[in-house]
Every structure is written in C-alpha cells, then in structure tokens.
Amino acid sequence: MTCIIGLEHNGHVYIGADSAAQAGWKVRPTRLQKVFRRGPFLIGYTTSFRMGQILQHHLEVREPEKKESDDAFMVCAFIEAVRECLKDKGFTKIENNQEEGGFFLVGYAGTLYQVTGDFQINSSTEGLDAFGCGDDYALGAMKALEDLPPRKRIKKALEIAAHFSGAVCAPFRVLKL
C-alpha cells in the first residue's frame, strides 16, 4: 500500500513517503500524511492509517534517563510506549500470546530505526531503509542515486518505486529531523 524511505545524512534523518491509499485494486492519493514529527521523533509508517493516526496524535514517550544510550532508550522507552499506546487504542492484535503491531521507520537523535510488526527495533549499518510494497525498488534507487542530495534522492527513489509499483503514488513528502 505504500513506500516509506528513510536516510541518515550528516547527523540528520530524512523520511519520505508516498500518498497512496489502497483498497483492493483501487489506489487513490490521500491527504493523510504518512510521515510526521512527534516530539523528538520523525515517523514514517505503512500498515494502517489508523496506526499512523494513533502514533501521530496519542504517542507519549518519557524523557531519556541520564547515561541511557539512544538504543536503550528506543528499546526500553520508545517501543514500550508504542506498544502501550497501540494497545490502549485497540490497534494491536494478540494471538497465541504474540502481540502484533505494524511497520514504520523512526528518526531519533540522528539515527534511523526500523520497527517491525513484532515491535523489534533495528538500525541498518547503511543508514537507509524502506518499508512498503515499493521498498525493493526504493532501496535499489537509493543505492544508485547516492550522489544526489538527501531530499532529491528520496523523492526520485519514491518516483521510481511508483513507476514499478501500482500501490505507490504521488504526491511525495520528505521531512528532515
């Protein structure tokens, strides 16, 4: 249903998103923004507009503790806040004692993080990542377009993903943290 691309560059995180809203074979551009800022976080999501709306308007994360690493903060504070928030708002699915959420990218303190459906958090050594049905096209384009400035690189990669995937469409939005 979408393509979300994230990039670390010179201490900043950029996340770009398309505007596709898909239902079966129907794809239409939406005004809903799939990338947004929430406090010190930049978030770009796929999976569900409802999940994105909950994160954008309800997520509250405690401040980092002194001497707490960014990675520890993301695992111990951010992810736990996301799990609780999505659960409280009726989004998570629990089956066989396994909790399931959605997929999104998060920029925090100059690092790009990937959050998967089981609330695992990861960060690529390449400083870039993508989610959605156009992610393979986007990652290939990001590698091929390394010489472009970050915003242009992400926008062009989204255009390429839209060319090859029928569930990715303009307009594209890129934010910087």
Sequence-distant (≥ 6) Cβ neighbours of residue 25 within 8 angstroms:
none
Q: Would you state the pLDDT for residue 100?
A: 87
What pLDDT is stored for residue 99 in this prediction?
A: 84
Which is the CATH superfamily of the domain at 3-176?
Answer: Aminohydrolase, N-terminal nucleophile (Ntn) domain (3.60.20.10)
Q: Residue 84 CA to chain centroid, in angstroms?
A: 18
Helix count (H) and strand count (E) of the chain?
A: 5, 13
pTM confidence score: 0.94
pLDDT of residue 96: 85
* Length of the chain (residues): 177
pLDDT value of position 166? 87
The CA dihedral of 107, 111, 116, 122, to the nearest 10 degrees, is: -170
Low-confidence ranges of the chain (pLDDT < 70): none
